[in-house]
Amino acid sequence: MKLINVRIGLFITTALLGLAALPIGGKISNTEGLGNDGRVLAQTTNDNSPFYAPNPPPPRKDPLPAERARQEATPTKADFRISSLQADYSGDLWVGSWQGLSRINPNTGRVVARINLPNYTLGALSQDKVGRIWVGTYEGLLRVDPRSNEVTAQNIALPSNRVLSLLIDKRGYLWVGSDRGLSLISPDQGLLMTTLQDLPGVSANALTLDQKGQLWVGTLEGLVQVDTASALIRHRISSVPGTVVQALATDNQGMLWAGTPNSLLVIDPNTRQVMRSITALQERNVTSVRFAKDGSVWVGTDNGLVKINPSTGDLLGQISGLPSSRIMSLATDVGNKLWVGTSEGLAWVSLTTGVVKPHLAFIRERPADY
């Protein structure tokens, strides 16, 4: 009986295998896939099979052409722009560059710390009342604790992450200027308190406080005064020659000094009138303005650094030997030096001898005569 069952099983299996090999509705022509002349056959179920002439494989192409190989083998050109400088309460100097944030001893020039900020482009620096360093970048706002040199706050909600200017007011609050207006931040909590997005001129390029503690904002369409208590606009000066205000400072007399793409203007914040235009800076693109302890004013342009007598507007001197003539930032009287951030690196000017030296850690190439 067992032998009969085995034979029946074999018979059924053989029959099923035979059926599986048969095509439905026809037969498969040339099961080896080649015609008599060697051409490739498409598998069909009738005798009218199409033919495809065999083609050789395409010629091998170098996946990395010579030009592309050179481009990928060449490292990206480092950017040595020094966009912001900030002295702190301990006497150190914070250097904001397009390569990151650094802290140096201005007396010796030694780099005390480098804060790793990958993928951040720095645009502004400020120090709050308790010594924390605020870093404005094109990717948002950061807070750094100088005790640990570590980032302790980030991802703060802003109308725009492109931060252009920073300022601590007399109450200790942080004003953040961006390409979409102003924001007011509580430094302790790192929280956004209010925003001023309908700012005339839109972009808050530069910030300063007048002698009454009110905020002045340099915009694309002149100057705007903002009440620091209410965050409301108080006054506007739109009749600024050159329109765009990109640098701001307040002198000992309470006058506003406004740098534009073609002039340096002195403005009375009380009357809101332009008092004079500095002759030596006419048709010059003013990018930075800072007052020294001796009362003189240092003015950076896109074509050099000059020293001006604020009373007369006379040119007192012009600094040469910098890494670049395009000045981006200034810090006066830090380590008895004037620190100069340029588009090609950092340098300092001795306030006693006038000697100009580059900081070798922040320039592209060591000068041949250094």
Neighbours of 245 (CB within 10 A): 29
Q: Which two tokens stand for residue 34?
A: 């080649």
Q: Beta strands 82-87 and 93-97: pairing type?
A: antiparallel
Q: What domain range is 336 assigned to?
A: 291-363
Query: How is 188-201 classified by DSSP, letter by letter?
Result: TTTEEEEEE---TT
Asked if residue 328 belongs to a domain, the reply is yes
User: What's the confidence (pLDDT) of residue 333?
Assistant: 96
pLDDT tens, per residue, the chain with 370 residues = 444 444 444 444 444 444 344 343 433 334 444 444 544 444 444 445 445 455 555 555 454 555 544 444 555 567 899 999 999 999 999 999 988 999 999 999 999 999 988 778 999 999 999 999 999 999 999 999 999 999 999 888 899 999 999 999 999 999 999 999 999 999 988 889 999 988 998 899 999 999 999 999 999 999 999 999 999 999 999 888 878 999 999 999 999 999 999 999 999 999 999 999 999 999 999 999 999 998 899 999 999 999 999 999 999 999 999 999 999 999 999 999 999 999 999 999 999 898 999 999 999 887 776 6
Q: Cα(290)–Cα(79) distance, rounded to whole angstroms?
A: 24
Give the length of the chain: 370
Domain membership flag for residue 50: no
DSSP tally for the chain: helices H, then strands E: 2, 30
Nearest in space to 255 (alpha carbons), one of 283, 282, 285, 289? 289
Whether residue 213 is contained in a domain is answered as no
Mention every residue, 6+ apart, whose C-beta is less than 8 A from residue 29.
41, 44, 46, 47, 49
CATH number of the domain that 349 lies in?
2.40.10
Q: How many domains does the chain have?
A: 1
pLDDT at site 20: 40
Q: Is residue 324 part of a domain?
A: yes
- Supply the pTM of this predicted model: 0.78
Q: How far is CA 341 from the centre of its chain?
A: 15
Residue 354: Cβ-neighbour burial (10 angstroms; 0-12, 13-18, 19+): exposed
Q: Where would I find the H helices in the chain? A: 2-21, 66-73
Position 56 scores a pLDDT of 59
- Domain assignment of residue 149, yes or no: no
pLDDT score at 119: 78
What pLDDT was estimated at residue 361? 92
Residue 217: name the closest of 192, 241, 246 by CA: 246
User: What single DSSP character describes residue 78?
Assistant: P
- C-beta of residue 316 within 8 angstroms of C-beta of residue 278: no
Tell me whether residue 246 is in a domain: no
**C-alpha Rg value of the chain to the nearest Å:** 35
Distances in Å between the alpha carbon of 124 and those of 27, 312, 320, 329?
A: 79, 31, 25, 10
Domain presence at residue 81: no
The answer to whether residue 13 sits within a structural domain is: no
